[in-house]
Amino acid sequence: MDLGFEVVSLGPADHVEEGEQAPEFTRPLVDDEHWENVSLSELTDEGPVLLVFHPMAGSFPTTYIWQELVERGLEEVLTVVGVTSSDPYAQKRLVEARDMEFRLFADPANDVARSYGIEHDLDGMAGISEPRIATFLLDTDRVVRDAWVSEEWPEFPPYDDVEAAARDLAD
Q: Does 154 bind other proteins (CB under 8 A)?
A: yes
Closer to other proteins at the Cβ: 7 or 109?
Answer: 7
Judged by CB under 8 A, the stretch of 44-52, 56-64, 76-84, 111-119 that binds other proteins is 56-64
Which residues 93-132 are close enough to bind other proteins by CB under 8 A? 122-125
User: How do beta strands 129-131 and 119-121 pair?
Assistant: antiparallel
Q: Does 59 bind other proteins (CB under 8 A)?
A: yes
Closer to other proteins at the Cβ: 58 or 158?
Answer: 58
Which of 24, 58, 67, 164 binds other proteins (CB under 8 A)? It is: 58
Going 44 to 46 to 51 to 56, the CA torsion angle's sign is negative
Closer to other proteins at the Cβ: 77 or 104?
Answer: 104
Q: Does 11 bind other proteins (CB under 8 A)?
A: no
Interface positions with other proteins (CB under 8 A): 1, 3, 5-8, 55-56, 58-61, 63, 122-125, 153-154
